[in-house]
Amino acid sequence: MIFGKKGDDAVLAKLASAPEPYRGIAERLHAIIRETAPGLEPVLRWGLPFYVKDGKDVCYIKPDKDYLVFGFGEVANPAFEQGAHMHPVAWTLTSLDDATEQRIRELVAKAAG
């Protein structure tokens, strides 16, 4: 896989361009991902921060002017539920609280393996 830019600095520079309140949420998500799964490599691809393991997408952050999306690659979907007919792979975030941060940590840890 070819990535435009790699590393925390490149990803944080991209996240810094998001408008508030999404900039703060995105920067906090980055910190949660890096703390929870330090083995994931932060990269920029298609202008978006992705976090990859062994060349495969684990999760990503998509900031926009009106929303912020946090999602997972379909292959390592940590929200997959046996017997369910629909499996979420992305969520729109409008704010973060302790319970949401904890759920994100659980999902990231599961997806990162």
What are the tens digits of pLDDT across the range 6-46? 899 999 999 999 999 999 999 999 999 999 999 999 999 88
pLDDT of residue 86: 85
Q: Kindly state the percentage of the chain with pLDDT values over 90.
A: 70
Token representation of residue 71: 């999602």
> For residue 99, which amino acid is it?
A
Q: What's the mean per-residue pLDDT of the chain?
A: 91
pLDDT of residue 5: 84
pLDDT band at 3 (very low <50, low <70, confident <90, very high): low
Residues near 21 by beta carbon (within 8 Å), at least 6 away in sequence: 94, 95
CA distances from 75 to 12, 23, 78 (A): 25, 27, 9
